Amino acid sequence: MSSDPEGLHERARQADKIVKNPSRYKICDGCESIVVTAAVTCPSCHSYRFDENADAVTAQARRLALRERQSVLASDFE
C-alpha cells in the first residue's frame, strides 16, 4: 500500500508511448491489460481475446496511466 510517484510517472511515460503508437498494442478482453500486438495470449491472464481498436487502446492507456497499479502496461513484459 505504498504510494509510488516515480512508478506513476513511469506509467504515464509508457502510456504516452502507447497513445502515440496505438496500432502496436491491443487490449486484453480478460483483464484489460495493454499488450503488444505480437502477443498471442495475454502474459497476465492467458486470455487469447483482444480488442485491437486503436481508439480503445488510446483510451485504455490514458485510464491505466491515472490508475493505481491493477492492470499491466506493455512495458512490464516487453
Neighbours of 69 (CB within 10 A): 12
Helix or strand (DSSP H, E) at 57: helix 54-66
**Does residue 12 touch Zn ion according to CB under 5 A?**
no
**Does residue 43 touch Zn ion according to CB under 5 A?**
no
Interatomic CA distance for residues 25 and 16, integer angstroms: 12
Taking CB under 5 A as the criterion, the residue among 12, 19, 41, 44 binding Zn ion is 44
**Does residue 19 touch Zn ion according to CB under 5 A?**
no
**Does residue 36 touch Zn ion according to CB under 5 A?**
no
Cell digits for 41?
Answer: 495470449
Residues near Zn ion, by CB under 5 A = 28, 30-31, 33, 42, 44-45, 47
